[in-house]
Amino acid sequence: MKEWLESLDFLYLFEKYALPLLTMVLVVVVGWIVAGIAKRIIVAMLEKVHADISLEKFLAAAASIAIKVVAVISAIGILGVPTTGLVAGVSAVAAAIALALKDSLSNVSGGIFLLITRPFLTGNIISVNGETGAIKEIKLVHTVILTGDNREIIIPNSVMMNSTVVNLSNEDKRRVDLVFSIGYNNDARLAREIILNVLIKHELTLTDEIEPFARVTAHSASSVDITARVWTLAKDYWTVYFDVLEQVREEFNEKGISIPYNQLDVHIDGNVKNV
């Protein structure tokens, strides 16, 4: 037994087996440490620019996983195992997963783009695909919108990226556009004066900054149409909209200006003979 032990070359065994194994473990440990450091650095950088928390988590996790995968492949290579096939296999699996999840990945890529570029923010009122509401949350896969009647609408981010999105609250001021129809037998000038007077007197309109507008814009089949435009703060848009409608209607009634409805005049020719 003693002679057998003396015949072993421990230095050779250490260099042949123990050293590569220790190196592999060291590479994996260092890889895990570097992944953790990279994750913290990414989170800190994104917090400085006030990035969305969802984006922080996704990018930090993606960087951490990528570093760990590289560390594991490098560690396997230290043992003498060919890594070319392993890398090709990992790439093939990744490609297959990407193909199977292409719709979800397009939503994720759209979410990342929205979170980075920030064309709209949480709390903004937007209109998209015929729906209008406040942005409740922007996630990596979808955006959540809360409508005025308290409906929660979930829209995939790929749809958000490929649709026309109207941001109704990005600017401080908005223009209120209204159309009032009066009868052909009414005084259009008087109607314009009434409308302008209502616009000027309203406490929430910005008539001192931007002059209100009221002009005849169409001669329709049954009415003369007067378009009114006035500016207000975005937060006061709907208050001004409904107030002006109601107040103009009251003034029209007091001044005898009628609001017409569709009608058809039928003229009977008495000279027409019965057939």
> 63 or 190: whose pLDDT is higher?
190
**Spelled out in words, what is the top-level CATH class assigned to the domain 119-167?**
mainly beta
Widest pairwise Cα distance in the chain: 140
Instruction: Identify the architecture of domain 173-255 in CATH.
Output: 2-Layer Sandwich (3.30)
**pLDDT of 61-82, one tens digit each?**
778 888 888 887 777 776 666 6
Least confident of 59-73, 86-100, 188-202: 86-100
pLDDT at 198 over 60: yes
Residue-range domain boundaries for the chain: 12-100, 119-167, 173-255
pLDDT at 79: 67
Which residues make Cβ contacts (< 8 Å) with residue 144, sequence separation at least 6?
A: 135, 136, 137, 138, 152, 153, 154
pLDDT at 228: 96
The predicted model gives 217-232 an average pLDDT of 93
Question: Per-residue confidence at 265, pLDDT binned at 50, 70, 90?
Answer: low
Q: Tell me whether strands 142-147 and 131-138 are parallel, antiparallel or unpaired.
A: antiparallel
> Where do we find the tokens 């917090």?
47
pLDDT at 247 over 60: yes
> 11 or 193: whose pLDDT is higher?
193
> 262 or 190: whose pLDDT is higher?
190
This model's pTM is above 0.85? no
pLDDT at 42 over 60: yes
> 94 or 110: whose pLDDT is higher?
110
Question: Per-residue confidence at 12, pLDDT binned at 50, 70, 90?
Answer: low
**pLDDT of 153-167, one tens digit each?**
998 888 888 888 888
Closest CA to 114 of 179, 161, 153: 161
Q: Please indicate whether the domains covering 12-100 and 173-255 agree at the CATH topology level.
A: no
Tokens of 244: 């002006």
Instruction: Decide if domain 12-100 falls under CATH 3.10.20.30.
Output: no
> 136 or 85: whose pLDDT is higher?
136
What whole-number distance in Å separates Cα of residue 265 and Cα of residue 230? 36
Which amino acid is located at 142 in the chain?
A: H
